[in-house]
Amino acid sequence: MNLQFKSKDFVHLHLHTDYSLLQSTIQIKPLTNHLQNLQMKACAITDYGNMYGAISFYSSMKAKEIHPILGYEAFITFGSRFDREASVKAGERPYYNLVLLAKNLKGYYNLAYLASKAFTEGLYHKPRIDFELLAERSEGIVGLSSGFSGTILHFIKQGNTEKAFQNAKLLEEIFGKGNFFIEIQDHNLNQGKKYQEQTIELARKADIPLVATNEAYYLTREDARAQEILLC
């Protein structure tokens, strides 16, 4: 599929379907129809911890001549995926979110491998991978830093910009130059704009490109209430 994008075309690179269980109300077929109505040329699927919807998403998008970008939002730990300990270092969390997107067939195979190992080896509260496994299987994958649940924004919120910088460079090293992006989101959250400038400044300092995402959990404005009820 030869895609021709205009400078103002937007592509959803961080979107959850109802395979992000009890989180999103977006169903794949209505999503495909809505994207077609909006004349959007491509879209990604990035469900939490799984790729259950990948094949259905791919087939549905292809049928409407929309380019499918397969991915998922992984849970990654600084420790080992084999650990079964609840304790973590001060200022850290047991796991962080990281958006992974396949850029080619090799990347898709690696994503499927990572998602499987997260359940068979890393399942402890969440299906986790670790940095060792990610480094082994990063070929063909583009990484996005995720939002407030990612490592970079987590440490920025704590005021530890040095650690945020170190994590950004570590992820860039794992994925390779040009294959890792720092996400910025504008959801009008009370604290969102407060950290946006710091995130942009860090990206410039680290010489890592930015990508604007709109982490979608529902299809239309009218669905917002239904998604809120789902969360409850």
Q: What is the DSSP string of 85-136?
A: -----TT--S-EEEEEEESSHHHHHHHHHHHHHHHHT-EESEEEEEHHHHHH
Angle between helices 192-206 and 161-175 (to 10 degrees): 60
Residue 188 pLDDT = 56
Lowest mean pLDDT among 33-37, 68-72, 85-89, 167-171: 85-89
Mean pLDDT over 98-122 rounds to 98
Residue 1 pLDDT = 55
Inform me whether the pLDDT recorded for 157 exceeds 80.
yes
Mean per-residue pLDDT of the chain: 93
- pLDDT tens sequence across 22-37: 999 999 999 999 999 9
Instruction: Specify the pTM.
Output: 0.94
Residue 107 pLDDT = 98
How far is 24 from 15, CA to CA, in rounded Å? 9
Residue 189 pLDDT = 57
Inform me whether the pLDDT recorded for 161 exceeds 80.
yes
Answer with the residue of higher pLDDT: 4 or 183. Answer: 183
Inform me whether the pLDDT recorded for 97 exceeds 70.
yes
Answer with the residue of higher pLDDT: 58 or 92. Answer: 58
User: By percentage, how much of the chain surpasses pLDDT 90?
Assistant: 85
Answer with the residue of higher pLDDT: 90 or 221. Answer: 221
Inform me whether the pLDDT recorded for 190 exceeds 90.
no
Q: Which secondary-structure segment (H or E) carries 169? A: helix 161-175
How far is 163 from 168, CA to CA, in rounded Å? 9
Mean pLDDT over 70-75 rounds to 98
Residue 193 pLDDT = 73
Work out the pLDDT band at 191, boundaries 50, 70, 90.
low
Inform me whether the pLDDT recorded for 172 exceeds 70.
yes
The amino acid present at 167, given as its one-letter code, is: N
